[in-house]
């Protein structure tokens, strides 16, 4: 693997390999000394053109635990034309000898441009681009599901037969897109449920089913309910009447949560809008994996950086 730009192009074998390496990395996290020497002498740049706390510190922790040098570059707010500024930045990073670039950008496709432009030789990891993909988030979600479902017997396995319901703002969510490709590749069945205004039209070509009634979808008793954040910052029109109406129709509120079997996993990529898409009772319940997702994110990102940056770069695709 030279870059990690999305989950769409990942095979089941590649995904399982990455999750298995993440299991090894998780075992390291349980030791007193959490650090491996694997990326000593390599430089990883976190290039963030959008606000982020948890994803940036997660990548930072992952790179540091592999002994890489980490440079945080927060490029938000630059008003230069996007293509131009990305090229200039890339050439600067190349001159500084960056081996890996973790990029978050508001424009879908920016990581692909960086990886294929020839501006830079570094391995590129997409940390979220516009409404396109956020592959390490989907991988940490899959890792979290696999661990809850199979525990110590997770290694080598996919998510065969698991039924996952993804709820809410699919339209603006790169997390939903990356999960919609990855989870079916691992054998899961994915249903998207959202108001018609928040479902993209191109889902017909995704390996998922779609529906428009949350209570009906919950009544089908999915194994996992993944609630998406309402991405107000990407909404420039009226996608639903108001917050109270959204919470009533689309929120995982106390009544809906109480009606779920106590084996149903409740997931959210964070940051949560408590009281809007998810109520505190669901978010803080033992069924919630929200904190596990954050912890597992470091292991999964260590695995991704390890696969991209250890050994010789540029050999196989």
User: Does the protein bind ligand NCD through residue 137 (CB under 6 A)?
Assistant: yes
50: tokens are 């959008």
108 and 115 in contact (C-beta within 8 Å)?
no
- Binding-site size for ligand NCD (CB under 6 A) equals 11
- ∠ CA 240-243-248, rounded to 5°: 90
Q: Judged by CB, which is closer to ligand NCD: 234, or 313?
A: 234
* Residue 315 beta carbon to ligand NCD: minimum distance, rounded to whole angstroms: 30
| Distance (Å, whole) CA 70 – CA 104 | 16
User: Does the protein bind ligand NCD through residue 177 (CB under 6 A)?
Assistant: no
* Residue 243 beta carbon to ligand NCD: minimum distance, rounded to whole angstroms: 16
**Nearest CA to 154 among 139, 143, 163, 164?**
143
Chain positions 144 to 173 lying near ligand NCD, rule: CB under 6 A, are: none
| Distance (Å, whole) CA 49 – CA 27 | 32
Residue with tokens 């950008």: 105
| Distance (Å, whole) CA 78 – CA 80 | 6
User: Does the protein bind ligand NCD through residue 281 (CB under 6 A)?
Assistant: no
User: Does the protein bind ligand NCD through residue 229 (CB under 6 A)?
Assistant: yes
Chain positions 27 to 56 lying near ligand NCD, rule: CB under 6 A, are: 54-55
184 and 15 in contact (C-beta within 8 Å)?
no
* Residue 98 beta carbon to ligand NCD: minimum distance, rounded to whole angstroms: 22
Q: Judged by CB, which is closer to ligand NCD: 141, or 189?
A: 141
Dihedral sign of CA atoms 145, 149, 153, 156 in order:
negative
| Distance (Å, whole) CA 126 – CA 174 | 11
Q: Judged by CB, which is closer to ligand NCD: 46, or 231?
A: 231
* Binds ligand NCD by CB under 6 A, chosen from 29, 270, 284, 285: 270
User: Does the protein bind ligand NCD through residue 128 (CB under 6 A)?
Assistant: yes
* Binds ligand NCD by CB under 6 A, chosen from 3, 65, 174, 256: 174
User: Does the protein bind ligand NCD through residue 134 (CB under 6 A)?
Assistant: yes
Query: Read out DSSP for 216-236?
Result: HHHHT--SEEEEPP--GGG--
Q: Judged by CB, which is closer to ligand NCD: 128, or 222?
A: 128
Q: Judged by CB, which is closer to ligand NCD: 6, or 158?
A: 6
265: helix, coil or strand?
strand
* Binds ligand NCD by CB under 6 A, chosen from 111, 195, 251, 269: 269
| Distance (Å, whole) CA 19 – CA 200 | 29
Q: Judged by CB, which is closer to ligand NCD: 100, or 128?
A: 128
270 and 294 in contact (C-beta within 8 Å)?
yes
User: Does the protein bind ligand NCD through residue 304 (CB under 6 A)?
Assistant: no
* Residue 88 beta carbon to ligand NCD: minimum distance, rounded to whole angstroms: 25
Q: Judged by CB, which is closer to ligand NCD: 55, or 179?
A: 55
* Residue 259 beta carbon to ligand NCD: minimum distance, rounded to whole angstroms: 25
Tell me which residue has its CB nearest to ligand NCD: 229
Name, in order, each residue with C-beta under 8 angstroms of 220's C-beta and a sequence gap of 6 or more. Answer: 163, 165, 191
Give the binding site for ligand NCD (CB under 6 A): 54-55, 128, 134, 137, 174-175, 229, 231, 269-270
């Amino acid at each position: 693997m030279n870059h990690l730009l999305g989950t769409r192009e990942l095979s089941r074998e590649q995904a399982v390999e990455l999750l298995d390496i993440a299991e090894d990395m998780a075992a390291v996290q349980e030791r007193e000394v959490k650090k491996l020497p694997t990326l000593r002498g390599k430089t990883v740049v976190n290039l963030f053109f959008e606000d982020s706390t948890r994803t940036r510190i997660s990548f930072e922790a992952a790179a540091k635990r592999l002994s890489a040098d980490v440079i945080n570059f927060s490029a938000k707010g630059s008003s230069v034309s996007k293509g131009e500024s990305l090229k200039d930045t890339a050439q600067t990073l190349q001159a500084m000898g960056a081996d890996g670039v973790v990029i978050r950008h508001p424009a879908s496709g920016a990581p692909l441009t960086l990886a294929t432009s020839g501006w830079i030789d570094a391995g590129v990891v997409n940390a979220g681009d516009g409404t396109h993909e956020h592959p390490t988030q989907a991988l940490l979600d899959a890792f979290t599901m696999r661990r809850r479902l199979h525990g110590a017997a997770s290694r080598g396995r996919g998510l065969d037969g698991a039924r996952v319901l993804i709820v809410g703002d699919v339209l603006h969510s790169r997390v939903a897109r990356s999960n919609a490709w990855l989870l079916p590749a691992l054998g899961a069945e994915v249903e998207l449920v959202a108001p018609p205004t928040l479902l993209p039209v191109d889902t017909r070509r995704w390996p998922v089913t779609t529906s428009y009634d949350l209570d009906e979808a919950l009544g089908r008793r999915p194994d996992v309910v993944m609630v998406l954040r309402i991405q107000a910052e990407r909404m420039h029109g009226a996608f639903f009447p108001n917050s109270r109406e959204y919470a009533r129709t689309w929120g995982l509120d106390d009544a809906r949560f109480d009606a779920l079997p106590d084996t149903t996993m409740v997931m959210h990529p964070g940051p949560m809008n408590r009281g809007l898409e998810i109520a505190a009772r669901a978010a803080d319940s033992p069924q919630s994996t929200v904190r596990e997702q954050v912890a597992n994110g470091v292991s999964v990102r260590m695995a991704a950086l390890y696969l991209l940056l250890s050994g010789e770069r540029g050999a196989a695709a």
